[in-house]
Structure 1
Amino acid sequence: MSVLVGLVRHGAHDDLGTWLSGRTRDIALNAAGRDQTAALARRLAGRGIAAVHTSPRRRTVETAAILGQGLGLTPEPQPAWDEVDFGAWSGARFADLEGDPAWRHWNAARATAPTPGGETMAAGADRALAHLHRLAERGGGGPVLCVSHCDVIRGVIARVLGLGLDNILRFEIGPASVSWVLSHGQGTAQVLTLNGTE
C-alpha cells in the first residue's frame, strides 16, 4: 500500500525570523499567513485530499483549519507532527541565541547535538516519519496533508532522501509550502516535490 502525503508548513506569523516560537510561544497566523494558506487551499482543491492531520500548535491548527474549510475536511490533531521540543531555547529570540555556543553547535551538528532539556533533531524527525509510514500501512483513501513545522518537515525530507540531519539547512521549507512524499510503508518513501509555494 502507498499513500501520497503533502507535508505543509504552517503559514506566516509575526515571530518568523525573530523568535524561536517552539512549543512556548503559541503564536497565531498573521494576515499574510492566512492569505498564503487560503491560496494553498485553492491550489489543492480538486486533488482528492482525503484528510488533514496537524501538529497541536496554534499556528498549525489555524493553518489546518483554513485548509480544512477550503477542502471540506475536519482536521485531525496528530502529536507526531508537533514542533521539535527545543527545551530551554523555546520562546527565545534568535538574536539572543546567537551568543550561545550550544545553539551554534546545534545548527552545525543537528544529527548529534542536544537541546537544553528538549528532544534531539533525530527524535523529532523520526516520530513524524513513523506517522508518515503508518499512513501507508493503514492504506485506502486519497492524499493526506500533514501540517507541521519547518524543522520537522526538513527532518522528514532528509530522512527520506538519506541525507544526514546535519544537512537540513541546505534546503528551504517556506511558510504555507507543500512538499509531496509518496510513502510505501515499511520504512520506504520517495520525495516527489519540495517547498511548493506556487
Structure 2
Amino acid sequence: MSVLVGLVRHGAHDDLGTWLSGRTRDIALNTAGRDGTVALAQRLAERGVTTITTSPRRRTAETAAILGQGLDLTPVPSDALDEIDFGAWSGARFADLNGDPAWQHWNAARGTAPTPGGETMGAAVARAMAHLDGLAERGGGPVLCVSHCDVIRGMIAHVLGLSLDNILRFEIAPASVSWVMTHGQGRAHVLTINGTE
C-alpha cells in the first residue's frame, strides 16, 4: 500500500537561530509560529488529511494541536518523529557551538559524525523512516507527520538517495510542509519540498 505523507516542520519559536533547542529547551511557539500554523491548517483543509502524528516536543505538539483543531483531528504522539538527541549540545547557544570543532565536523559530515552522548543522524533518520513504513502498511488517506527541521531534511535526503552530508543544501522552513508518497519497506518518492504558500 502507499500513503501520501505531509512532513510538517513545527511553527516558529523564540529559540530559532539562537539556541539549539533539541530535547532540552522545551519551548512554546511564538505568535508568528501560531499564526503560521493556522495559515498552514487553512491551506491543508482541502487535502483530505485523515491522521496527524507528532513528535512529543512542546513546539511540535502545539503545532499538531493547531493543525488538529483546524482539520478536526486528534494528533497522535510518536517518539519516532522526535528531535535528534544532540546529547551534550542540546540546549546550547549556537554562538557557543560555532567554536567547537566537533560541532563543525557534525555539520560537514552528518552521515558519519557523532554527537556527544546523543544519537547519530543516521539513527534519527532510520527511526523516522520506520514510522513512514508503518503508515504505508496501515494504508488510508493522507497523513501529516509533525517533526523537526533536520529530521525532515534527513528523511527527504534518504528518499532522494542523497548523502546525509548534503542536508544543509535545502531549506525546511517553520510551518512548511513537504509531501512524500511512501510505499513501505523503505520505498518512497518526494513530491514537493518546503511548501510555505
TM category (shorter chain) comes to over 0.9
Q: TM-score, normalised by structure 2?
A: 0.99
What residue ranges of structure 1 are gaps of 5+ in the alignment? Answer: none
CA positional deviation for 1:133:
1.2
> Residues of 1 paired with 2:77 and 2:49: CA distance?
16
Alignment correspondent of 2:97: 97
> Residues of 2 paired with 1:181 and 1:112: CA distance?
25
Alignment correspondent of 1:115: 115
CA positional deviation for 1:93:
0.2
CA positional deviation for 1:51:
0.4
Per-residue deviation, residues 92-133 of structure 1 (Å, max 9, x unmatched) = 000000110000000000000000000000000110011111
Q: Secondary structure in 2 aligned to 1:91? A: coil
Runs of 4+ in 1 over 3 A off after TM superposition: none
CA positional deviation for 1:138:
1.4
CA positional deviation for 1:186:
1.8
CA positional deviation for 1:134:
1.1
Q: TM-score, normalised by structure 1?
A: 0.99
Alignment correspondent of 2:135: 135
Alignment correspondent of 1:157: 156
Per-residue deviation, residues 150-184 of structure 1 (Å, max 9, x unmatched) = 00000000000000000000000000000000001
> Residues of 2 paired with 1:186 and 1:111: CA distance?
21
Alignment correspondent of 2:186: 187
> Residues of 1 paired with 2:68 and 2:108: CA distance?
37
CA positional deviation for 1:6:
0.2
What residue ranges of structure 2 are gaps of 5+ in the alignment? Answer: none
> Residues of 2 paired with 1:164 and 1:157: CA distance?
10
CA positional deviation for 1:187:
1.4
Q: Secondary structure in 2 aligned to 1:193? A: strand
One-letter identity of the residue aligned with 1:93:
R
